[in-house]
Structures are given as C-alpha cells and as structure tokens.
Amino acid sequence: MAENVNEIVDELVSVARGFYGRGWLMGTSGNLSAVVQREPMRLAITASGVDKGELRPEQVLLVDENVRVLNEARTPPGFLTTSELTNKAAANKPSDESLLHVRIVKERGAGAVLHTHSIWNTVFSDLYATEGGIRIDGYEMLKGLAGVKTHEHSEFLPIVDNSQDMASLANAISKTLNAHKFAHGILIKRHGLYSWGETLAQAKRHVEILEFLLEAMGRTAILKTGKA
C-alpha cells in the first residue's frame, strides 16, 4: 500500500488547491478523499477545518472504515516521518463528514469521493429541493460522466435534506444511492455536492462536469428571462 500513498496525497493536495482557486472550497469547507487500500479500507482524507488553498500533505489523514486515524502505515522512506505523523495526529482530526465518504466508497465501490461547496451547487440544491433533484439532459458535457456515451442522456442529480446527525445523513445518502443507481453525484440541500469516481482523476472530472452543467443551466434560465 505504502508506495502509492505519497502520490495519492500529492494528487489530493493538487485537486484541493485547484478547486479552492475556483471558489468551491471556501472558508475551509469541503472534504476530499481517495482510497489507498480496499481490504481493510484505508482512506486518505483531508483533515477537518484546514484551508484548502494552502493544504499541505501532512493535513491529509489516513483513516479506516470507522474513521479512526492511522499512521503506522505511512513510515516508508519518502513519506512522512514518525514525528511528523505524531504531530499531525495531534493537530488534526477527520471531519464528521468522513463517514459519508466511507459510505459512498462502500456503496459505489468508488476510488475517490469529492465534496465541494460551490455557489451554483448551493443555489440549485436550494431551488430544486422540493422537486427532489435536478434533471440534466441533452448536453454534450454529460459524456464526461463515466458510462455516458451520448448527449441524449438524462442525468438525475438527487437532493437530500441537510442534517447534523451524520449517521442519519449517511443513511439518507445510502438510500438515495440505491434509489438512483446511475447517479454520478448527490446534492445536500443548501450544503453542497458529493461526487465520486473510480479514480481521483475521474472524480475530479465528475465534479467539473456537474459544476459546469449546473452553471450552464442556471445562466440559461437567467438569460431566457432577458432574451427579448
């Protein structure tokens, strides 16, 4: 496992800084994770409350499926030293929402889970909550979602209610994942987007595609009003 941990951590840091630049992880919001090992599960995940625009490798934690922080696995040369790990364990803890990441990894077999708070995903998660989700169809960009081969695809992005009870929210997400077997993301009302992929690169692509499509739909709706 250890050989690729550093690489995964560096990739998470790079995605975090890029998404922060686009305003999708403002004010320490959001969480990014990637699977390091399946059995037993080892997940690299951003620590709680860290500034994603200045994310450093030591702010990415290694957790098990119960979100306990591990560090023994990360001692090979080139990775963090024991003292850095101890220091990290003392300084950082995983976000409460890490549970949702673990759930999505299990339910979807995902290799990475990205949770962002963008303006457009917040706006849509609010305005379409009563419809239970947003239908997106007819866009070429849909082909950026894994398994979609044509723009004549109809994607449904479900919306679940927000909650501070993580077990309850995890269950709502499981239920939604089961009800929408082909969904590539889930919105939480007035909260943000969860998307995922087989790899971190694919998960990043899915976030970019969904963000793009929401903004395109939003601006189309606004311009329709303006168009004579």
Q: Which residues make up the interface to a second copy (CB under 8 A)? A: 18, 22-23, 26-29, 51, 53, 117, 119-120, 122-123, 126-127, 138-141, 144, 149-152, 162, 164, 188, 190-192, 201, 204-206, 208-209, 211-212, 215-216, 218-228
Q: In the complex, what is the shortest distance from the CB of residue 227 to a second copy, in angstroms, rounded to a whole number?
A: 6
Nearer to a second copy, 101 or 206 (CB): 206
Across the chain, where does the E strand assignment appear? 31-37, 42-46, 60-63, 69-70, 112-116, 133-137, 154-160, 185-188, 192-197
Nearer to a second copy, 62 or 99 (CB): 99
SS3 label, residue 128? coil
Q: In the complex, what is the shortest distance from the CB of residue 191 to a second copy, in angstroms, rounded to a whole number?
A: 4
Nearer to a second copy, 101 or 117 (CB): 117
Nearer to a second copy, 81 or 220 (CB): 220
- Among candidate residues 188, 199, 132, the one with its CA nearest the CA of residue 161: 188
Per-residue H/E/C for 178-194 = HHCCCCCEEEECCCEEE
Q: Residue 188 forms beta bridges with which residues?
A: 160, 192
Q: In the complex, what is the shortest distance from the CB of residue 105 to a second copy, in angstroms, rounded to a whole number?
A: 21
Nearer to a second copy, 42 or 195 (CB): 195
Q: How many Cα neighbours within 13 Å face the side chain of 70? A: 20
12 neighbors 44 (Cβ within 8 angstroms): yes
Report phi then psi at 148, rounded to 5: -90, 125
| Measured CA distances, 127 to 48, 88, 132, 214 (Å) | 28, 40, 10, 12
Nearer to a second copy, 62 or 197 (CB): 197
Q: In the complex, what is the shortest distance from the CB of residue 12 to a second copy, in angstroms, rounded to a whole number?
A: 14
Q: In the complex, what is the shortest distance from the CB of residue 98 to a second copy, in angstroms, rounded to a whole number?
A: 15
Nearer to a second copy, 45 or 62 (CB): 45
Q: In the complex, what is the shortest distance from the CB of residue 201 to a second copy, in angstroms, rounded to a whole number?
A: 7
Q: In the complex, what is the shortest distance from the CB of residue 150 to a second copy, in angstroms, rounded to a whole number?
A: 5
Q: Quote the tokens at residue 96.
A: 């409460």
Q: Quote the tokens at residue 209.
A: 């595609």
